[in-house]
């Protein structure tokens, strides 16, 4: 009897490549950087690599696309998700899009170092697009090679999953595969290039369509392609809105405004700073996308940006993220205006962002403080005073909110409390204890009294408040210094810390006492170190 051929699990996935079958393709088949006109994408094959090795994968994401743990441990998995082989049903391509970068129109951008493999339909009927980041040259690579280095790939892989488990809308990451190749990069664009280990991340999302996907066609006056893309997007990802029409385009835009506002509220909740909120980095689904020079606020500084390119202007600083999102949505409105023809209806839809963000931000702050309700007569001032107190001294945002849940409040005897004992839980959040002057302590106590009064009015027991706060204030976030240590070890061939951090970040709200060393302030050595403070778009 002849042995039956072994069935490869990756070849059993179900692909529905509607994007390439329904939208216009680039007619040029040669792969070289160029302007691509009248098309939503270009067919392109990933660049093959010499020695792909899967060094990490997210089991939850594998399950989403229909793969088991054992499937992810095969050599074929490494081959496919490094780009050496296309599984049955995959059709690889790079998307065409444009965008505003740092507020200026940049023209055509596109997937310069990302190659899409197609959309998997899982057993639940969900659509998941697979995309390789760092898989080689595309027509949109401009002066670059389309490859990615290990350090940026580790950051993308870990952050995608960290954000998901924090409850932030985000793209996901399936795998991190080293390529066995060396890639030359100038980390800070300062004339000091060096060879670094190469890697590829497989990103997963329902769609990777961006604001800039519509902008490029509108800017070129290619309204036929613009309409085809908008109709495809609504039919595929917003079918509940009905058949595309001018009114439905407005309703769709309103939904994009709403989901974008909700995403930004989550960023502000956990202290996340994206660093490069260009319109080509804004997902049409309200997902956090394109993890480059991101960071978490450590000392609470609303003017902080993690991006060296943004150091002077600080356009994408923490406090300006809501305004940037609103501006970006305005550019999307301009792009789809030819499909609608009414400024007023688009403006009304755009105003949804402001309304939703304001309402959701107030609700979010109430949750961070464990409050039952928002009281407009007192809570706007309560929140404003808290943010002012956080800025008075170098205060770790994550630790402050987490430890605030441990402060013994909600009782009438606060006036008689021992001050040192009362604020003792918060001391872990301060970087420079010498800054805790009598003036600061007085301001902190004044705020605690105001906060305590609200807790008394609400009748919230201490244990209930702590439980509420610990559900929304994480104990663990992916601090840049943690990612950098993992990168340093990975570049030496030790990938254990990547796996350890991935497991840690799966449960960011849990105590995890055996991992308590990661719930600590940024160490002094990381204050100015490259990769731990500010990063470039190459990061």
Catalytic residue list: 280
The alpha carbon torsion through 278, 279, 280, 281 (nearest 10 deg) reads: 60
Q: If you search the block for the tokens 């956090």, which residue do you land on?
A: 288
Backbone angles phi, psi at 470, to 5 degrees: -70, -10
Query: DSSP string covering 427-438, please?
Result: GGGBS-GGG--H
Mutual angle of helices 223-237 and 211-219, in 10-degree steps: 160
Distances (CA, A) of 524 to 213, 298, 529, 532: 42, 12, 9, 11
**How far from chain centre, in Å, is Cα 435?**
33
Integer Cα distance of 149 and 185 in angstroms = 8
Q: If you search the block for the tokens 């094959």, which residue do you land on?
A: 45
Integer Cα distance of 538 and 189 in angstroms = 8
Integer Cα distance of 374 and 380 in angstroms = 9
Integer Cα distance of 362 and 394 in angstroms = 24
Q: Which of 270, 328, 278 is nearest to 300 (CA)?
A: 270
Helix or strand holding residue 32 (H, E): none
Pair of tokens at residue 243: 């058949």
Distances (CA, A) of 279 to 215, 248, 287: 9, 22, 13
Integer Cα distance of 287 and 71 in angstroms = 27
Q: If you search the block for the tokens 């340093």, which residue do you land on?
A: 488
What are the residues whose beta carbons fall under 8 Å from the beta carbon of 208, sequence distance 6 or more?
Answer: 95, 114, 116, 129, 131, 171, 283, 289
Integer Cα distance of 176 and 429 in angstroms = 33
What residue ranges in 210-317 does DSSP mark as E strands? 272-273, 295-296
Contacts 24+ apart (CB under 8 A), 438-443: 440/392, 440/393, 443/388, 443/389, 443/392
Backbone angles phi, psi at 407, to 5 degrees: -70, 130
């Amino acid at each position: 009897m002849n042995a039956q051929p072994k069935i490869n699990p990756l070849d059993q996935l179900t692909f529905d490549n509607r994007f390439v079958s329904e939208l216009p393709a680039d007619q040029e088949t040669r792969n070289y950087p160029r302007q691509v006109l009248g098309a939503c994408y270009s067919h392109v094959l990933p660049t093959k690599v010499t020695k792909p090795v899967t060094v990490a994968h997210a089991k939850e994401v594998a399950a989403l696309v229909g793969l088991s743990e054992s499937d992810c441990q095969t050599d074929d998995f490494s081959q496919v998700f490094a780009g050496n082989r296309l599984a049955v049903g995959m059709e690889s391509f790079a998307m065409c899009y444009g965008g505003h970068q740092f507020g200026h129109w940049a023209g055509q951008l596109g997937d310069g170092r990302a190659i899409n493999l197609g959309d998997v339909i899982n057993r639940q009927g969900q659509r998941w697009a697979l995309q390789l980041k760092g898989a080689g040259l595309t027509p949109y690579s401009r002066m670059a090679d389309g490859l990615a280095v290990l350090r940026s790939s580790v950051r993308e892989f870990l952050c995608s999953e960290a954000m998901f488990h924090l409850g932030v809308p985000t793209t996901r990451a399936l795998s991190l595969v080293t390529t066995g190749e060396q890639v030359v990069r100038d980390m800070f664009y300062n004339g000091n290039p060096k060879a670094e280990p190469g890697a590829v991340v497989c990103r997963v999302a329902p769609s990777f369509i961006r604001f800039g996907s519509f902008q490029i066609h509108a800017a070129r006056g290619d309204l036929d392609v613009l309409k085809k893309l908008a109709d495809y997007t609504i039919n595929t990802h917003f079918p509940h809105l009905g058949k595309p029409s001018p009114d439905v385009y407005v309703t769709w835009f309103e939904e994009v405004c709403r989901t974008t506002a909700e995403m930004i509220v989550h960023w502000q909740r956990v202290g996340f700073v994206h660093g490069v909120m260009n319109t080509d980095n804004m997902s049409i689904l309200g997902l956090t996308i394109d993890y480059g020079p991101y960071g978490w606020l450590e000392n609470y500084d609303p003017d902080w940006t993690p991006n060296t390119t943004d150091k002077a202007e600080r356009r994408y600083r923490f406090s300006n993220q809501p305004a940037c999102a609103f501006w970006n949505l305005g550019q999307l409105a301009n792009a789809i205006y030819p499909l609608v023809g009414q400024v007023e209806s688009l403006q009304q839809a755009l105003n949804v962002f402001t309304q939703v963000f304001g309402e959701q931000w107030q609700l979010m702050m109430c949750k961070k403080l464990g409050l039952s309700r928002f009281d407009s007569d007192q809570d706007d001032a309560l929140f404003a005073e808290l943010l002012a107190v956080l800025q008075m001294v170098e205060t770790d945002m994550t630790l402050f909110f987490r430890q605030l849940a441990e402060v013994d409040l909600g009782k009438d005897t606060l006036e008689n409390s021992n001050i040192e004992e009362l604020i003792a839980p918060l001391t872990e959040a301060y970087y420079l204890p010498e800054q805790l002057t009598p003036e600061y302590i007085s301001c902190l106590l004044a705020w605690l009294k105001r906060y305590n009064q609200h807790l008394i009015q609400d009748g919230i027991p201490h244990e209930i408040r702590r439980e509420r706060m610990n559900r929304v204030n994480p104990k663990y976030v992916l601090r840049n210094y943690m990612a950098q240590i993992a990168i340093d070890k990975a570049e030496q061939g030790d990938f254990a810390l990547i796996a350890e951090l991935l497991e840690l970040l799966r449960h960011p709200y849990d105590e995890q006492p055996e991992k308590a060393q990661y719930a600590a302030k940024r160490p002094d050595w990381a204050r100015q170190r490259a990769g731990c403070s500010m990063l470039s778009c190459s990061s």
